Structure formats: structure tokens, C-alpha cells
Amino acid sequence: MIKKSLLLIFTCLLIIGCGGKNYKVEKYKNQIPKWYVIDQKSDSKVFGKALGESQSLELANREAEALAVSNAIFKIKQDMNAIKNQYLSKKFSQKGKKGTTSVQSDYEEKIELEIKNYEISSYRVSQKSVYKDPNGFKVFVEIEFNKEKLFESLDKII
């Protein structure tokens, strides 16, 4: 009796744990999702978008997410000066003092090097559309990355 109860509980937990957000596979009508065209702007997040295509839904999904992460990294590197200035102003405002130009310039080279070599390790899929056409699957994905994670990484080098 106890074994059956434990097995039932374990099975329920397994089903609940594995039940992530499901996406409906739609027929591809040669249109891209509206959300994919619009770029989101945020001071605290970086967004990356991409399209993955494959005969396998799993491979198309992985490709889309990997390319979206690459897109977000590209945006981080492209906006390096803005991110660097945002980080430095936040860093010195938290300490309650103003950073001198010489102190900030000492940090700038280290920050630029860290940003150039930064790899996104955690992100959230904020939008996803999955389509099927005769050639396979098309997965449109948008990920969001919290800049606080980058700032935490920068805190470790300063």
C-alpha cells in the first residue's frame, strides 16, 4: 500500500516537474511573428532573437536558442560603452561617492576586456513561436538576459 502511494506521488511529481510551457506547432504561412519584428528596449535587460530551422523540432529549438544567445552577446558588445557607463555610474552611486576620472579610467580597460569575453550562462525564453512546413520546423525565439548577471561578473574583477 505504501509502495503504491509513493509510486503515485512520485509519478505525479515527475509529470508536474516535466510539464514546462508547451508551444503549439502551427502550420507555417510564410509570415514571421509580429513580436519578432519589434525590438524591445530595457535598461535592465538585453534581448536576443533568432530563427532555428531543422527537420527535428529539438534541433530547431536548440539552434534558435543558441543563435538568440549569440545575438544578445553581440548586442552587449555593440553597446559596450553604454553598458560600461551604466555599470560605473551604478557602482559609484552605490558606494555613495563620486568616482574620479582617473579611478574610472583604471576600471574601463578591465571592464571592456570582461565584456568582450563574457558568455551568457543564464537567460529566459520570453517569446517562442513554433511552425512546421514541408521542409521541417521553424522556431522563432526571443531570449532575455538580465544585465545584473553581467554586473555581478564585473564586480568580481574590480
The pLDDT of 67-95, averaged and rounded, is 87
Domain positions in the chain: 25-157
Cβ atoms within 10 A of the Cβ of 92, count?
Answer: 16
Comparing 6 with 149, the larger pLDDT belongs to 149
pLDDT tens profile 109-134: 888 888 888 889 899 999 999 999 99
Angle value at C-alpha 69, between 65 and 74, nearest 5 degrees: 145
pLDDT tens profile 17-65: 444 456 789 999 998 999 999 999 898 999 999 999 999 999 999 999 9
